[in-house]
Amino acid sequence: MNKIIILLLLSLSLTMCFAQKPNPEIKKKGLSGNPIFEGWYADPEGTIYGKEYWVFPTLSDVYGDYKPIEEKDLTARQKLTINKDYLKQTYLDAFSSKDLVTWKKHSHVLDIKDISWAAFAIWAPATMHANGKYYLFFGANDIQSDKEYGGIGVAVSDKPEGPYKDALGKPLIDKFHNGAQPIDQFVFRDDDGQFYIYYGGWRHCNMAKLSNDLLSIVPFSDGTSFKEITPEQYVEGPFMIKRNGKYYLMWSEGGWTGPNYSVAYAMADSPYGPFKRIGKILQQDPKVATGAGHHSVIHIPGTDDWIIVYHRRPLGDKNGNHRETCMDKLVFNPDGTIQPVKVTFEGVVKKKIQNNFKK
């Protein structure tokens, strides 16, 4: 009996160590598989540049060889972190694919060495191509009050794979407004060319207008700079799409380390809302994975095909930072509402981009 128990524990341990690797047999069938690539990555921002799919995630936890920062080498700001795991999150990787199946890793597209004010917790990248440049928005330092320095920054590159350099030398948003922690940013370009940034942790969601160069906040017509648009049960991770003239605001609910982390949505006729919660579209499946949340959406040009990119936690793994990046189909009903997402091990079908498109 003791041998059986030891074998079971060993099997679980191996599953937890290697669950973040893609299944090659699934990929051979022309499917993305879930996870889509190796590693513990969360908060994935999916987009299309040219004829390539790109995913920019948060480094959730290290794997393989890793040398932690020694105590003597910590900066004064790094010593203030409320979670030592955040000291691992000092850079961002990116991944590109021509077909959703085979992914190429681009290491350290953004690194704190290129951001003078960032110390740790480089989170939730948001992307945009504009003005002939590639913009990467990010959160840094996990500030807990206006007395701390950090917030949402923006970096720029001439190439999707970087390297991205700090564009401002300071955060774009460095204070709490309307109770929203300055994290989890998403940048949306409307059909008229206006850029908006949606962001916020601590159960508050704000929106603001961005300048054409995406480097400053532009006041609204009433003189305010930040409008709160928090829907019911909102926690963090806002994302916006527009389809058939309707604006869809999506967000994450629940605790990010728990099994019930999930995604809900609302629809409106304006980018300002109001956004009335309709229901959940993404949540755990006890037979597949837990903690499914903090997503983005890719629209394949020239089609009405949509893909939800999100993170989830392998079954049996209790480490809150063991999150893996996955993809599944996002399907709309005839009335425009969204069907609940079926989380799978198979992922999405291999598909190349036919129309050249730049976000």
Distance CA(302)–CA(352), nearest Å, equals 12
Nearest one of 42, 43, 17, 13 to 237, comparing CA atoms: 43
Distance CA(64)–CA(255), nearest Å, equals 27
Residue 280 CB contacts under 8 Å (≥ 6 apart), including other chains: 253, 262, 263, 264, 340
Q: Which of 19-33, 97-111, 265-279 has the lowest mean pLDDT?
A: 19-33
- Per-residue pLDDT band at 152 (split at 50, 70, 90): very high
Matching residue, tokens 């699934």: 26
CA angle, 145 then 149 then 150, to 5°: 95
**What are the boundaries of each domain within the chain?**
23-358
Contact 58, 65 (CB under 8 A): no
pLDDT, tens digit, for every residue of 308-326?
999 999 999 999 999 999 9
* pLDDT value of position 359: 45
State yes or no: pLDDT of 6 exceeds 70: no
Mean pLDDT for 284-313 is 97
* pLDDT value of position 291: 97
pLDDT, tens digit, for every residue of 35-74?
999 999 999 999 999 999 999 999 999 987 677 788 888 8
- Per-residue pLDDT band at 235 (split at 50, 70, 90): very high
State yes or no: pLDDT of 1 exceeds 50: no
Residues classed as catalytic: 43, 236
Mean pLDDT computed over every residue of the chain? 93
The model's pTM:
0.93
State yes or no: pLDDT of 12 exceeds 50: no
Mean pLDDT for 160-172 is 98
Q: Which of 58-67, 230-239, 250-259, 296-305 has the lowest mean pLDDT?
A: 58-67
Highest mean pLDDT among 5-9, 67-71, 231-235: 231-235
Q: Which CATH class is domain 23-358?
A: mainly beta
State yes or no: pLDDT of 284 exceeds 90: yes
Q: By percentage, how much of the chain surpasses pLDDT 90? A: 86
- For residue 67, which amino acid is it? K
Mean pLDDT for 6-30 is 64
Distance CA(317)–CA(64), nearest Å, equals 17
Nearest one of 146, 120, 250, 257 to 198, comparing CA atoms: 250
Q: Assign residue 203 a region: left if phi > 0, alpha if psi is -120 to 50, beta otherwise? A: left
